[in-house]
Amino acid sequence: MFTARSRSGPASVEVARQPAPTGPPAAPPRPVRVAHVVGCLDRGGIETASLDICRALPSREAHQTFVTLAGWEGTLAGQFRAAGAQLRQCPLRPKRSFPLRMWRCLRSLRPDVVVSHVSLTSALILLAARLGGVPVRVARMWSEGDGRAGTRRRRAQRALLRSLLPYAATDVLGVTPAALAFAGDRPRDPRYRVLYNSVSTDRIDGWDRQAARRRWGLPADALVLGYLGRAAPEKNRAFLVDVHRAARALRPDTRLLVAGPGGTADLTAPHPDVATDPHVVLAGEVDEIGPVLAAADVLLLPSVREGLPGVILEALAAGVPVVATDLRCLRELAALVRGITLVPLSAGADAWADAATARAALDSTGRHRISQALRSSPFTLDHVVRQWRTLWRIDHHHAWHRGAEGGSL
C-alpha cells in the first residue's frame, strides 16, 4: 500500500491511497415510461397542464408518450415533441375494435405508468392497462361533468364505468373535489383524491401592460375585459358580448378582448355586428397568453361547466382579478386563493358588468396580493411536479435500478 505523510504539527498521519476503480461505469437508470391517453393535443386546459409537466420533468427521469384518440395529433403536437415526448395515435373509431387496439398499443409501449385523461372512459383504458400488466394506472378527472345529456342510456353507461373504475385504476385523481365526485362517491377509498392543476409562471411573467395594449390596439386608459378560452358550448362565450355592452353603459370606454381557438362563429352568430365593433378585439388563437393577461383589467369566465380552469390560475398569478360563474368547482378554488368573484349566470349581464367594473378598479397593491397568494399556493408547478414524481414512483424506480446494478436487490 502506498502511503503519504501529511504533517500538520508535531504528529504525522498516514493516508491510504485507494486503488482506482476498475471496470466500466454503471449505466444510468432508465427513465420511468409514462403513457398518457388524451383526446388530442389541441390547445386547452388539459393539454397545457400536461405540457407544463412534460417540460418540467426531464426525459432522463420520465419518458412520456401521448396517445391520441381523436384521429389527429393536435396543434400543440410540435411543442410536446420539443419537450421530449413521443406521440402515438390510437383512434377511438371504429369503437368495436378499439379495446383490442388500445391493448396492443400499450403492450408495444410497455409503460410503467398509464395516465388516462378521458373522463369516465378512462375505466376502459385502464382496464386494458391492467390486463397488460401496467403497475400504475391513473384516471385523471378534469371536469365536474361530461357535457352530455343525462339520458337513460347515458346514465347507465356512467354507472357501469364508475363501477369498473376502482377495479381498473390504482389512482383516481380529480382536479377539484367536484371533478372527483363525478368519478363516483368513494370517500373511504384512499385511491380517490384531489391533485390540483398547476400554473407555469414562465408564460405570464415579463410582459409590459402598455406594450400589450399597443399589440391589440387598445387605448392605454380604457377598461379592458379579457377572455381566454376555446370556442365550445360549455364556455358560453356569447355571454361576453352581453356583459361588454352592459359594462359600456357604465364605462363607455370599455373594451372586450377575446382570445382562443375554434373560430368566432359562437360569438358572431348571436351577435352579427360584433366582428365590426371597434370596441371588441377578436384575437383568435394566440401562441402567448402573457400579452392578453397584461392588457386585461379583469378576466371573465362565464362557463356553464368547468373543472379547474388553468386560465384562472394564470390570471391570478399575473395579478388579474377574475369574475366567473358561480360553479361548485370554482367555489372550492375561491376558498384557496385571492381574487375570484363568483356571479351566477342567472343574475344577468348587468350584475356581471357591475362585478367586472368593480374588480377592474383594483389598485396595484391589491393585484400584487392576488399574485403572491397564488404563487404561494398548492397550485405552483414545483409543488404539483413533486406529487407526480411520487405518484409515478420516479425516485423509487431509480433507487431500484441503482440497487439492482450494485447487486444489493
Parent domain of 268: 201-378
Taking residues 12-41, report their average pLDDT. 71
Read off φ and ψ for residue 115, nearest 5 degrees: -115, 115
Torsion-angle region of 57 (φ positive above 0: left; ψ -120 to 50: alpha; else: beta):
beta
On average, the pLDDT of the chain sits at: 90
In a domain, 341, yes or no: yes
- Note whether 306 and 362 are same-domain residues: yes
Question: Which carries the bigger pLDDT value, residue 10 or residue 376?
Answer: 376
Residue 25: band (very low, low, confident or very high) from pLDDT cuts 50, 70, 90 = low
pLDDT of residue 150: 81
Tell me: pLDDT of 180 over 90.
yes
Q: What is the pLDDT of residues 98-118, one digit of tens each?
A: 989 999 999 999 999 999 999
- Note whether 43 and 189 are same-domain residues: yes
Rounded Cα distance between 246 and 251, Å, is 9
Q: Name the 3-class secondary structure at 56.
A: helix
Rounded Cα distance between 340 and 38, Å, is 29
What is the Cα 203 distance to its own chain's centre? Answer: 13
- Note whether 339 and 386 are same-domain residues: no
CATH number for the domain that contains residue 255:
3.40.50.2000
Quick one: CA dihedral 212, 214, 220, 225, positive or negative?
negative
- What is the grid cell recorded at 130? 391492467
CA angle at 23 for the pair 21 and 26, rounded to the nearest 5°: 90
CA angle at 87 for the pair 81 and 91, rounded to the nearest 5°: 150
- Note whether 168 and 111 are same-domain residues: yes
Tell me: pLDDT of 10 over 80.
no
Closest to 303 (Cα-Cα) out of 239, 255, 256, 358: 239
Q: What is the pLDDT of residues 120-144, one digit of tens each?
A: 999 999 999 999 999 999 999 999 8
pLDDT of residue 148: 82
100-106: which pairs have CB atoms within 8 A and are 24 or more residues apart? 102/37, 102/128, 103/128, 103/131, 103/132, 105/67, 106/35, 106/132, 106/134
Rounded Cα distance between 41 and 51, Å, is 9
Per cent of the chain over pLDDT 70 is 89
Rounded Cα distance between 31 and 113, Å, is 11
- Note whether 300 and 313 are same-domain residues: yes
Residue 226 and residue 320 in contact, taking contact as beta carbons nearer than 8 Å? yes
Residue 404: band (very low, low, confident or very high) from pLDDT cuts 50, 70, 90 = very low
Residue 2: band (very low, low, confident or very high) from pLDDT cuts 50, 70, 90 = very low
- What is the grid cell recorded at 240? 361576453
Torsion-angle region of 393 (φ positive above 0: left; ψ -120 to 50: alpha; else: beta):
left
CA distances 129 to 99, 108, 191, 210, Å, are: 10, 12, 17, 51
- Note whether 171 and 289 are same-domain residues: no
In a domain, 15, yes or no: no
pLDDT of residue 145: 85
Tell me: pLDDT of 397 over 60.
no
Closest to 77 (Cα-Cα) out of 92, 69, 88: 88
Taking residues 230-247, report their average pLDDT. 96
- Note whether 266 and 392 are same-domain residues: no
Q: What is the pLDDT of residues 34-91, one digit of tens each?
A: 999 999 999 888 999 999 999 999 999 999 999 999 999 999 999 999 999 999 999 9
Amino acid, res. 151: T
In a domain, 14, yes or no: no
- Note whether 356 and 372 are same-domain residues: yes
- What is the grid cell recorded at 322? 377574475
Q: What is the pLDDT of residues 186-223, one digit of tens each?
A: 889 999 999 998 988 888 888 899 999 999 999 999 99
pLDDT of residue 405: 44
Residue 11: band (very low, low, confident or very high) from pLDDT cuts 50, 70, 90 = very low
Taking residues 366-388, report their average pLDDT. 94
DSSP state letters, 194-211: E----B-GGGTTT--HHH
Tell me: pLDDT of 5 over 90.
no
Q: How many domains does the chain have?
A: 2
Element (H, E) at 116: strand 113-116
In a domain, 7, yes or no: no
Quick one: CA dihedral 64, 67, 68, 69, positive or negative?
negative
pLDDT of residue 3: 41
- Note whether 325 and 223 are same-domain residues: yes
DSSP state letters, 294-310: HH-SEEEE--SS-B--H
Tell me: pLDDT of 1 over 80.
no
Taking residues 375-404, report their average pLDDT. 79
Tell me: pLDDT of 349 over 70.
yes
In a domain, 167, yes or no: yes
CA angle at 104 for the pair 98 and 105, rounded to the nearest 5°: 85
> Scanning the structure block, which residue is given the C-alpha cell 385571492?
338
Q: pTM value?
A: 0.83
